[in-house]
Amino acid sequence: MKIISKLWIFIVLLIVLSPLGLLLPDHFKAGSAWGEWGPDEIKNLVGFMPQGLEKLSHLWSAPFPDYAFKGWEDKPLLNLSFAYLVSAVIGIVLVVFVTLILGKALSVKDKKQESL
């Protein structure tokens, strides 16, 4: 089996496992997944809001907040798991697309420099 095939199998496995980040914290009554806290949750956990985080928290908003579609925040876990899978696929497609474009752009630049 080629290395690229093994890579894609591994990526598909990670996509399938991605809802675990939603299901396991819910199963163990752990609250949010570790490290995925918003500014309000950090304030509740730590007791204060770090100044740098407070200043930068409004700079970026995620296209899929909490990996869910707009209006799906209160849907059952099965629906949210589906949204996790869709988010994973969209993220991987975007990363592969950008990587391929950058690779082509850099290889064209290298070919032009070789011909000089």
In the block, residue with structure tokens 């799906």: 72
What is the domain partition of the chain in residue ranges? 3-37+65-115
Give the mean model confidence (pLDDT) for residues 54-79.
83
pLDDT in tens, 8-25: 999 999 999 988 888 888
Q: What pLDDT band is residue 103 in, cutting at 50, 70 and 90? A: very high
- Retrieve residue 96's tokens: 């592969």
- Asked if residue 111 has pLDDT above 90, the reply is no
Provide the pLDDT confidence category of residue 115 given band limits of 50, 70 and 90.
Answer: low
Residue of 81, 105, 106, 108 whose CA lies nearest to 20: 81
CA distance 27 to 33: 11
Nearest to 27 by CA among 84, 83, 77: 77
Residue 7: its pLDDT value, please?
94
